[in-house]
Amino acid sequence: MDSSSTIANSNSEELVGKWLVSENHKNSFSKDESKLFFGLKPYPILQDTTLLDEEIVKVEVWSYEDERLHTQQKIEKENDLEKSFTTVYHINDQKIVIIGNSEIPETTIGNEGYSNFHLGMNNQPYLKSISWDGFPIKHDVYLINDRSGKSELVAKKINATPRLSPGAKYVYWYDQKDSAWFAFSFNSKIT
């Protein structure tokens, strides 16, 4: 008989005061239904509601040292507020593992969830260089284990957008700067 149960909410021991379950993440099950993928977002900084409207200072502050241009920040503000980090719930073990985080904000689930390895990417250190270098954006690439949550750096500052092979055994990319294809094997750990 099928039944429902709560696996995580704002009162869950590992989430209290740090994480909230995201309503904006596209939840999914692995193909074999042994895992549930959902999103967590950082606990928001709450606004002081005791102030009157006329007491609130409305100022926009920006700097030439910002990662993104001020106009880009305004356009992407809504997306930033909806950002969540991929998390996996292992149904048989009743274990939650956060596989995305602020250091690895982009994740791709491997082999329809069958694989325990997933692709992680971070372009944040290189956002400032978009103004000079253009696209594609450089990335740091990670291999993430969804059993332990541990990540391993695969490649740093690649000038490409990496992808997972269909069976989630390789990460591959085309580097325009080198005019060459690269692949990283999960088993041999060789590029």
Contact 168, 153 (CB under 8 A): no
pLDDT at position 3: 73
Per-position pLDDT tens, the chain of length 191: 477 778 777 667 666 667 888 888 888 999 999 999 999 888 777 777 787 888 888 787 777 777 766 676 777 777 777 788 899 999 999 898 999 998 999 999 988 888 899 999 999 898 888 777 777 788 999 999 999 999 999 999 998 889 999 999 999 999 887 889 999 999 999 99
Give the contacts of 17 (CB within 8 A, at least 6 positions apart): 43
Buried b (16+ CB within 10 A) or exposed e, 43-75: eeeeeeeeeeeeeeeeeeeeeeeeebeeeeeee
- The per-residue pLDDT for range 127-140, each reduced to its tens digit, is 888 777 777 788 99
pLDDT at position 53: 80
pLDDT at position 147: 92
Pick from 157, 124, 128, 117: which is nearest to 141 by CA? 157
pLDDT at position 25: 86
Contact 158, 139 (CB under 8 A): yes
pLDDT at position 130: 76
